[in-house]
Amino acid sequence: MSRDRADRRAARRVFPFWVLQGAEYLLLVALADLSLHVGRGGLLVAMGAAYAVLALTADGPLGVVHLCGRRLHAALVVAVSATAALAPIVPVLRPDLEGIIIVEVIAVGMVRLATLTNTATGPRPVSGTGPVVDATAAVVAPPPPAPPSPTSPAAPSAARLAGRAAGSVSAAVARTSAQHRPAAEEQVKRGIRGAGRLAGKWTSTDDRRPTGGD
């Protein structure tokens, strides 16, 4: 519960820290000028000088010495404003009526500004956040395709194509042999008959040749 209350209190602090410091520098000039127009305006000058010293020593963008942290600075602003608002009780420090009104209005305004100023020095933590997911992923190139093995589907396809080609060649040779077979057989028969006639001629010639005994 205390954490939620602290978060809501931090969410109400809408002004950046340099706004508070700038207001303190401006009040130094404004209160110094207004002190010239009221009676017994020493309280206005002291009030403006106190704000200027706080702005110079604050650890903020407009600070010079950086002695006080931002939370401490806001607390000191509230303390200085409350002291200035109660100072007219003392007769020696009391300005005239117009001066009292100026002091009270500025004191209330600075207290309100200090409570609405963001005093955090870094980014505001976000409560209730879930786990951080790393969205980066390594890009891996796909591996090259493996050559087809004898057991892969590509091997039977190649074997079928080779078998079909061999069958086509065998069929073509068979058709060619069937077409030219009668002519070849006729040529062979002619050669055999020619050889038989030639052999018959040589035989008849030898039979007709006269012998020496007759």
CB 38 within 8 A of CB 96: yes
Instruction: Name the phi and psi angles at 27, rounded to 5.
Output: -65, -30
Amino acid (one-letter) located at 204: S
Structure tokens at 77: 């602003």
Cα(27)–Cα(53) distance, integer angstroms: 12
Q: Domain map of the chain by residue range?
A: 2-115, 154-209
Residue 104's CB is within 10 A of a number of other CB atoms, namely 15
Cα(56)–Cα(11) distance, integer angstroms: 27
Structure tokens at 48: 């403006």
Q: Give the pLDDT confidence score for residue 12 in this predicted structure.
A: 73
Q: Give the pLDDT confidence score for residue 33 in this predicted structure.
A: 96
Average pLDDT across each block of 10 residues of the chain; the chain has 214 residues. List them in order: 58 87 96 94 96 96 94 96 96 94 97 95 51 49 57 52 59 58 64 64 55 47
Short-list 2, 11, 3, 26, CA closest to 115: 11
Q: Give the pLDDT confidence score for residue 121 in this predicted structure.
A: 79
Measured in whole angstroms, the distance separating CA 142 from the mean position of its chain's CA atoms is: 23
Q: Give the pLDDT confidence score for residue 8 in this predicted structure.
A: 62
Cα(55)–Cα(79) distance, integer angstroms: 14
117: DSSP letter:
B
pLDDT in tens, 1-53: 456 555 566 667 789 999 999 999 999 999 999 999 999 999 999 999 999 99
